Amino acid sequence: MIDIVFKLNNVDYSQMLSKYSVKIETEYEEVIKTLDGTEYGVPKYRPNIVFSLMPLTEAQSAALFSILSSGAVSVTYTDTASNTTKTATMRVVSNIESVFGIKSINGSRYYKGDAITLRQRTVL
């Protein structure tokens, strides 16, 4: 397995990964129509990262929840297709309320181990 770089707001989660994949989503927001009526889509590419982590301590879980619920997350990651390290601003598209539970005694959140999906905010 290749070494993976995975940091969220400069907090390194690389050694805690249990699942990790980078997928490039193709979007066609623009369609160009030529004079003969032929349509050509203009592709735009947006990376998505799906990951899950090993069991976390309460402090690690609280820190991760705080990072993910902030809205925009700075992510430094390994693009597995090109084996290069990239940095991007991403947002969480998973329902983090279902990824994290609440301990009934003290109200602290804990990480359930579910997959989390991040989506780059800008297109390539």
Reported as a single tens digit per residue, the pLDDT across 60-115 is: 999 999 999 988 999 999 998 888 999 999 999 999 988 998 877 777 788 999 99
pTM of the predicted protein model = 0.84
Reported as a single tens digit per residue, the pLDDT across 22-43 is: 999 998 878 888 999 998 888 9
The tokens describing 106, both together, are 């003290």
